Amino acid sequence: MLHKIIVLVMMLSPCGETDAQNKKVVKKAIVVKQVSPLFVGNYEGINNAKAISINLKADEAKVSGSLMMNGESAKISGIASKNIASGKIIEDISGKVYAFNAERKSNTLFFSITFPEYNNQVVKMELTKINALNTANLTKQRDLRLFGTWRNTEVISSGSGEFYSSFSTDYFLTLNADGSAFIWSGKSAGGTKDVMVDANGNGKAQKMEWYTQGRSLFFVDPLSRKQSSVSFYAEPARMMLSTNNSKKVYHRMK
């Protein structure tokens, strides 16, 4: 009897398996999207006394955005891998196409453009990622007449006759509608009758925030929040900034 029971159990045991045990386990493939957050953001810089801004966004490995340089705009499209990107730039007005290469290191974007019409000359630029402006500063008033990029040329001279010497330096100021401001020095030139000096600026721009109150122009350090102010007088093509010790005339570039 026991033998028959054991045989019966052995015969019935396969039927005891659950449907789940008989079914094959099918695993769905998980698709991981490759996103390039390193390049996402707004970047600004100065190259040869020209203000440059780049806006980038990413969709998986694709990078796209816009470039604004010297008042002209272009579209950017390319492919990114880690902190390296490459692709093309298409000018909005002319439709000309240029190749670009980019590398992101910390908050710095190293961006280069190849110009085939100039024997494939490569222009290299260094831009800094900008953070959102202080929200309190966005609500402040700004005189519309000051928007744009301005240049002041400072001339220093001394002596007379054969001992006469002069030296001039260009200073630039960009006041944007969003409350950001950039200040940098440009080309310097001068000398004596025997020695001439001609040097480009370092291209490093100081970033500030700005607003106006009456006839006063205020600059705000974005880190320390310290403020300084000058009096201003504005016309369509020029403006004068005044302090107790000096008056400087700026001419509009754009």
Distances (CA, A) of 21 to 11, 18, 29: 18, 5, 22
Higher pLDDT, 3 or 18: 18
The encoded tokens of residue 103 equal 């590398």
The model's pLDDT over 46-69, given as tens digits with 9 standing for 90+, comes to: 777 666 888 899 888 899 999 887
- Of 219, 218, 215, 197, nearest in space to 207 by CA: 219
Contacts of 97 (CB under 8 A, 6+ apart): 88, 89, 90, 91
Task: Give pLDDT, residue 163.
Answer: 57
Check whether 158 has a pLDDT greater than 80.
Answer: no
Task: Give pLDDT, residue 151.
Answer: 92
The model's pLDDT over 182-217, given as tens digits with 9 standing for 90+, comes to: 998 876 665 555 555 555 555 578 888 999 988 999
Domains and CATH numbers, the chain: 37-130 (2.40.128.20), 135-252 (2.40.128.370)
Task: Give pLDDT, residue 31.
Answer: 47
Average pLDDT, the chain: 78
Q: Which amino acid is at 16?
A: G
Task: Give pLDDT, residue 106.
Answer: 87
pTM above the 0.85 mark? no
